């Protein structure tokens, strides 16, 4: 099997847990591996959507492992924070205006604002804000931003019905797991073909979460999922533009609308994956592994491969290289004036996502490895306040950008036995004014599922996001509510 654009073979990566090596996700070229996943051409006697519906209807909060519940709460804290921060961006404000003009008023909160809209409108507005800063979580089960799509949808319908915090938590987990299961069934090939999986598959996840929080029975759940699946789409060309935020919001809204339509009696194709004109064939060349669907509720992707929480408000593809540069700068006590050149060696997936070597806007900067490295060199960090056009045109950043070179390559042989390698690793060589060459390899950045950020670091991020969203006065109480969300009797009280 030939390496793919990740510099990988198969859909596997390894993590070490309690001394045992587990392979889940992606195996990197040159790294010893035990197995790899071959492409599975669709052959099944049972449709995936009814199978998903069966698992959804039977899923109960008490059956979910403690580690999954804990990680789901961390994801809730994270996505609430980044949505509050995202609400204070030009993109989110424009899309909120779109929502206000398009949807009716209701009892669903628009985070960071005094507005309340109906459930579809709230899902759209909050979903757009959740992804506006590209600070939301990531999962390598499909390379998707799960929480930014699923949470706004589930929150909207929970508030519409006055559902409990426990219902919200269960719906959130259900939506994420359905999205991840479908993503794994389709494999990484759908992403490679240019489909933006966050939107294309997020609509299915949001419909699943909303169906669960709405307590739908099997038949209506089936139709809600079918309606969401049949309209799936969005292309990766959205990167670096507000279209990325828009289609995150649209995917969230689509799940809500699909459930409302199913409740009213609308039907959808239960064979939306398997049909000769279905998702698997049209979007993915027939590649689909129904075995991944059968694992729903038995295995939890929230736990393995896990969810990556972002340390920096930029595309996750830049994080490993940014950490590698920071490691060198900190270890050597270097300043920006000490640096004359930086070379980043990365796998192909990184350069396919980070396409702006000389960014002109804040959204382009989020998809620029050159900007991320320059910010780390100059400021020692990448913060929300760095994402401005003024910062991009500042003398320090403009001076550093030409010094940074990015190339595609393999992992250096000495690092290939590492147990902590994710698909978007980074290897950096930094040359100083003194002529020294300093090297650093980061296989998995801080915040990844392989190197989780601590609860303290997560809380610091949450508080920074709340401050950026001008709601820092509510941060402490909101953090505690989310941490104990299952005790909340009515989700309408979550942000009050």
Cα Rg of the chain (Å, integer): 22
- Name the packing angle between helices 165-186 and 202-213 (round to 10°): 150
Q: Which residues contact 409 (CB under 8 A, 6 or more apart)?
A: 345, 346, 427
**Residue 393 lies inside a defined structural domain of this protein:** yes
Same domain, yes or no: 136 and 276: yes
Q: Which of 212, 277, 236 is nearest to 143 (CA)?
A: 236
| 164 and 261 housed in the same domain | yes
Q: Give pLDDT, residue 42.
A: 53
Residues 301 and 358 in one domain: no
Kindly report, residue by residue over 164-200, the tens digit of the pLDDT.
999 999 999 999 999 999 999 999 899 889 998 999 9
In this structure, the number of other CB atoms found within 10 A of the CB of residue 170 comes to 26
Which neighbouring-strand residues pair with 117? 105
184 and 292, same domain (yes or no): yes
Alpha-carbon distance values, 323 to 67, 135, 414 (Å): 27, 16, 19
Question: Can you give the pTM of this predicted structure?
Answer: 0.91
Amino acid 474: pLDDT: 86
Do the beta carbons of residue 444 and residue 420 sit within 8 Å?
A: yes
Cα distance between residue 389 and residue 62, in whole Å: 48
Read off φ and ψ for residue 3, nearest 5 degrees: -60, 145
Residue 24 maps to a domain: no
Note the pLDDT of residue 43: 54
Residues with Cβ within 8 Å of 390's Cβ and at least 6 positions away in sequence, in order, are: none
Assess if residue 125 is contained within a domain.
yes
Q: Is residue 417 part of a domain?
A: yes
Burial class (CB in 10 A: 0-12, 13-18, 19+), 68: middle
Contact 370, 342 (CB under 8 A): no
Supply the mean pLDDT for the chain: 91
Q: 322 and 306 in one domain? A: no
Residues 294 and 397 both lie in one domain: no
Least confident interval from 36-45, 251-260, 396-405: 36-45
Helix (H) or strand (E) holding 176: helix 165-186
Residue 338 lies in a domain: yes
Residues 345 and 424 placed together within one structural domain of the fold? yes
CA 236 to chain centre: 14
Ranges assigned E (strand) in 347-436? 404-408, 426-432
Which of 122, 292, 111 lies closest to 201, judged by CA? 292
Residue 29 lies in a domain: no
Same domain, 72 and 124: yes
- On whether the CB atoms of residues 123 and 175 are closer than 8 A, the answer is no
Write out the residue range of the structural domain in which residue 246 sits: 48-311+486-493
Q: Check if the beta carbon of residue 177 is closer than 8 Å to that of residue 296.
A: yes
**Same-domain check for residues 268 and 339:** no
- Structural tokens at position 226: 């079918």
- 288 with 385, same domain: the answer is no
Q: How confident is the model at residue 496 (pLDDT cuts 50, 70, 90)?
A: confident
| Axis crossing angle, helix 455-468 with helix 66-86, rounded to the nearest 10 | 20
Q: How far apart are CA 374 and CA 376, in angstroms?
A: 5
List the beta bridge partners of residue 27: 9
Predicted confidence at residue 45, as pLDDT, reads 58
> What is the domain-level CATH number for residue 430?
3.30.1330.120
Q: pLDDT digits over 324-376, tens only?
A: 999 999 999 999 999 999 999 999 999 999 999 999 999 999 999 999 999 99
Look at the chain and report how many structural domains it folds into: 2
- Sequential DSSP letters for 191-227: HHTTB-HHHHTHHHHHHHHHHHHTT--HHHHHHHHHH
As a dihedral over the C-alpha atoms of residue 245, residue 250, residue 255, residue 256, rounded to 10 degrees, the angle is: 100
pLDDT for residue 266 is more than 90: yes
- What is 54-69 written as a DSSP string? HHHHH--GGGS-HHHH
Q: Which residues pair with 428 in a beta bridge?
A: 344, 440
* Residue with the two structure tokens 């950020």: 453
Q: In this structure, is residue 15 part of a structural domain?
A: no
In this structure, the answer to whether residues 146 and 253 fall within a common structural domain is: yes
Domain shared by 320 and 171, yes or no: no
The reply to whether 16 falls in a domain is: no
139-167: per-residue pLDDT in tens?
Answer: 999 889 999 999 999 999 999 999 999 99
Which two tokens mark 413? 């042989």
Q: CATH number of the domain that 243 lies in? A: 1.10.4100.10
Quick one: the chain helix, strand, coil %, rounded to 5?
55, 10, 35
211 φ/ψ sector (left φ>0, alpha ψ -120 to 50, else beta): alpha
pLDDT at 235 over 80: yes
The proportion of the chain whose per-residue pLDDT surpasses 70, expressed as a percent, equals: 91
Q: Contact 129/112 with Cβ under 8 angstroms?
A: yes
Tokens of 123: 């899902």
């Amino acid at each position: 099997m030939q390496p793919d654009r990740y510099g990988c073979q198969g859909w596997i990566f390894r993590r070490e847990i309690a001394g045992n090596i587990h392979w889940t996700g992606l195996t990197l070229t040159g790294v010893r591996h035990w197995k790899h996943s071959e492409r599975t051409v669709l052959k099944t006697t049972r449709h995936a959507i009814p199978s998903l519906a069966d698992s959804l209807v039977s899923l109960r909060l008490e059956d979910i492992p403690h580690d999954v519940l804990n990680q789901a709460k961390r994801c809730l804290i994270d996505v609430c924070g980044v949505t509050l921060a995202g609400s204070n961006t030009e993109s989110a404000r424009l899309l909120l205006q779109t929502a206000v003009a398009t949807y009716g008023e209701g009892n669903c909160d628009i985070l960071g604002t005094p507005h309340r809209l109906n459930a579809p409108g709230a899902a759209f507005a909050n979903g757009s804000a959740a992804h506006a800063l590209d600070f939301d979580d990531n999962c390598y089960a499909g390379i998707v931003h799960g929480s930014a799509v699923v949470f706004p949808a589930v929150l909207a319908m929970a508030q519409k019905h006055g559902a409990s915090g426990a219902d919200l938590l269960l719906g959130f987990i259900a939506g994420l797991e359905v999205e991840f299961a479908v993503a794994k069934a389709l494999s990484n090939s759908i992403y490679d073909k240019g489909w933006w999986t966050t939107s294309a598959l997020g609509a299915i996840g949001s419909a699943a979460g909303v169906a669960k929080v709405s307590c739908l029975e099997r038949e209506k759940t089936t139709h809600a999922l079918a309606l969401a699946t049949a309209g799936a789409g969005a292309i990766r060309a959205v990167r670096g533009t507000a279209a990325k935020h828009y289609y995150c919001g649209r995917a969230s809204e689509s799940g809500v609308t699909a459930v409302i339509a199913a409740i009213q009696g609308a039907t959808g194709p239960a064979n939306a994956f398997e049909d000769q004109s279905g998702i698997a064939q049209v979007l993915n060349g027939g590649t689909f592994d129904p075995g991944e669907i059968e694992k729903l509720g038995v295995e939890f992707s929230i736990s393995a491969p896990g969810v990556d929480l972002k340390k920096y408000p930029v595309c996750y593809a830049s994080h490993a290289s940014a950490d590698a540069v920071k490691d060198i700068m900190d270890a050597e006590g270097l300043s920006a004036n000490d640096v004359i050149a930086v070379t980043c060696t990365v796998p192909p997936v990184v350069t396919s996502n980070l396409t702006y070597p000389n960014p002109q806007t804040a959204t382009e900067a989020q998809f620029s490895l050159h900007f991320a490295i320059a910010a780390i060199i100059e400021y020692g960090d990448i913060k929300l306040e760095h994402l401005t056009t003024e910062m991009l045109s500042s003398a320090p950043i403009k001076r550093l950008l030409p010094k940074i070179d990015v190339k595609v390559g393999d992992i250096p042989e000495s690092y290939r036995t590492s147990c902590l390698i994710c698909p978007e690793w980074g290897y950096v060589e930094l040359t100083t004014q003194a002529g020294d060459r300093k090297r650093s390899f980061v296989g998995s950045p801080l915040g990844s599922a392989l190197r989780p950020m601590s609860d303290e670091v997560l809380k610091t991020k949450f508080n920074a996001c709340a401050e950026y969203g001008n709601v820092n006065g509510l941060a402490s109480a909101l953090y505690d509510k989310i941490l104990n969300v299952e005790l909340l009797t009515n989700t309408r009280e979550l942000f009050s």
